[in-house]
Structure 1
Amino acid sequence: MFAPLLPSSLKAFVCVSGKRKSGKDFLTLKLASALANHFPDFDVSICSLSNPLKDEFACLRGIDAARLKGDGPEKERVRKEMIEFGENLRAEDSAYFCRKAFAQRLTIHKSADDSSNAEIVLVSDCRRPSDIAFFRRLFPTSVVLHLRVLCSLPTRQKRGFIFRSGVDDAESECALDEAEWDIVVENEEEEEKNGGKELERRIGEIVTELGTRMKNDTKKSE
């Protein structure tokens, strides 16, 4: 385990990106559980950049924000309008939703050491280079890992994906397509049929890679 060798003030970020219906949320939850087991002395939390957007849009429209945070038809009906609403706010302040999401992050594992400020934050839905840049700036000494979830179109379609012009060809879905990814995970239908063994193996590799980077980063700062 790397945790005992790391300072109690360390922050690390795993910025997850991927297309609609690629399984970003599913992978984020699986990874968070693995990180909590491997780094028990760290807080492990999840933040979603889309949650504050949905909260503000729902307030503006007078609808229940919870209906926008699931997979129901309400979210799809207003998705394009919601994207435009978010883009207008980002045009004025590119970090607007990043700040709100970080402040609202949900802690899913609490360190038993109350004196520790060490934390691993998983950002479940990064969409733009500016999102990842925000977390690099937030704690300049932190480790930031960009994790890309890949999934074929046929598998995404089986999960309910339907291409929508103005949504799936917009910046919110495409801005990180050509970015440099630190780790890539394929989340395909065949993997689900095989009991998720390959996915579990890849998650283990991500945990190891993050631990190595945190350890190396600590040595550089000594």
Structure 2
Amino acid sequence: MSEENPKLVLVFSGKRKSGKDFVTDILKERIGDRSVIIRLSGPLKECYAKDNGLDYEKLLSASDYKEKYRLDMLRWSEAIRNEDYTYFCKAAISKYEAERYPIWIISDARRLTDLRFFRENYGERMKTVRILASDESRKLRGWEFTEGVDDKETECGLDSVTEWDYRIENSGDLSGEQLTQPLLDLVQKYI
């Protein structure tokens, strides 16, 4: 890992349809080319798609296509993660050539081991961000409780964490700029 980069690692988590991608995409747009979005699910979905003859791009989207394969993909990835909890974190850093950028935006932490990896490797340079949204807001965005998904580690693995560096409430009608401003203020200290 580069001594110079990253200068700041923002690790986002939140339930399905809470707005993680919405917030991280806007933050990336506002920071510009000094940042990179690292999707921990990116290499996971890429390998899964390749192994199963599926459309990788469709698996990345917030679509019915992804939902159709979600359960099997979770089982498949858990087997890999049980062997090496760092596997997908390292693969994502490599996939997105993250060391080229001073600001890393991890868009989809889901497990305590994800936080552990970034904390162990980046210490004080890591800040955690929890995106919160009411069930009503999530339903308006297409969320529907799915047994075997919404009651598993991928959705509940970080529910026990009570200390977040930042909490963003995304249930109302705040603009993306309003939601990301506190983080943009933080980022300005590092670039």
Q: Same fold (TM over 0.5)?
A: yes
Which residue, out of 124, 134, 137, partners 2:117?
A: 134
Residue 66 (structure 1) shift: 1.5
Which residue, out of 20, 24, 34, partners 1:24?
A: 20
How many residues were matched structurally?
186
Unpaired runs of 5+ residues, structure 2, are: none
1:178 partner amino acid? S
SS of match in other structure, 2:145: coil
What is residue 92 of structure 2 aligned with on the other side? 101
Q: 1:106 to 1:191 in 2, by over 3 A?
A: farther
For residues 64 and 40 of structure 2, the distance between their equivalents in structure 1, rounded to whole angstroms, comes to: 20
Residue 201 (structure 1) shift: 3.2
1:81 partner amino acid? D
SS of match in other structure, 1:169: coil
- The answer to whether the 8 Å contact 1:9/1:118 transfers is no
What is residue 29 of structure 2 aligned with on the other side? 33
What is residue 209 of structure 1 aligned with on the other side? 186
- The answer to whether the 8 Å contact 1:47/1:106 transfers is no
2:148 partner amino acid? G
- The answer to whether the 8 Å contact 1:145/1:210 transfers is no
Q: Which has the larger radius of gyration?
A: 1
Root-mean-square deviation (CA), in Å?
Answer: 2.2
Residue 209 (structure 1) shift: 3.1
- The answer to whether the 8 Å contact 1:98/1:131 transfers is yes
Q: 1:157 to 1:104 in 2, by over 3 A?
A: same
Residue 152 (structure 1) shift: 0.4
Structure 1: which 4+ aligned runs deviate by more than 6 Å?
Answer: none
Deviations 1:179-210 (A, max 9, x none): 1211000112x315xxx1xx523422222234
SS of match in other structure, 1:191: coil
- The answer to whether the 8 Å contact 2:9/2:122 transfers is no
Which residue, out of 83, 108, 128, partners 1:146?
A: 128
For residues 205 and 76 of structure 1, the distance between their equivalents in structure 2, rounded to whole angstroms, comes to: 32
Normalised by the length of structure 2, the TM-score is: 0.88
What is residue 219 of structure 1 aligned with on the other side? none
Normalised by the length of structure 1, the TM-score is: 0.76
